[in-house]
Amino acid sequence: MLNLFGGGAGGRKVPLITPAQAAEMLRAGDALLVDVREPAELAQTGRLKGAINVPLATLAQRADPAGPAHEPAFRTDRPVILYCASGKRSDAAGQALLGLGYGAVYNLGGIGAAAAAGLPVERG
């Protein structure tokens, strides 16, 4: 069962998922894994295997399908799993994506808990 938190865009909340749920979603299909931390943080700790890095400050620009800086990996019909250091920035990122019309947005929380649960971390 998903634990919900956050203010929600238009009353919607960003579901908090477990590392096991995230791993299953990634294995099952087309989910996009996004690390919303700053590059300096990635240099210190690495990132979860397969994640793209889009810092929270630039997320809205890169995820907006109508924007000039749109990152093609972001599609409103594709599930997006977000994480950061603690889960706060990834929740804010989820709210931004919901506001842009994304339908399936999930908060994995912090990288430390995900790595401790066995999700692989890559460095470099």
Active site residues: 84
Task: Identify the residue whose tokens are 């477990």.
Answer: 18
SS3 content of the chain, % helix, strand, coil (to 5): 35, 20, 40
Non-local CB neighbours of 31 within 8 Å, separated by 6+ positions: 22, 25, 78, 79, 80, 81
Output the six-digit token pair for 36: 């919303």
Angle at 29 between CA 24 and CA 31, to 5 degrees: 80
Residue 46 phi/psi, 5-degree rounding, is 80, -170
| Nearest CA among 89, 25, 30 for reference residue 54 | 89
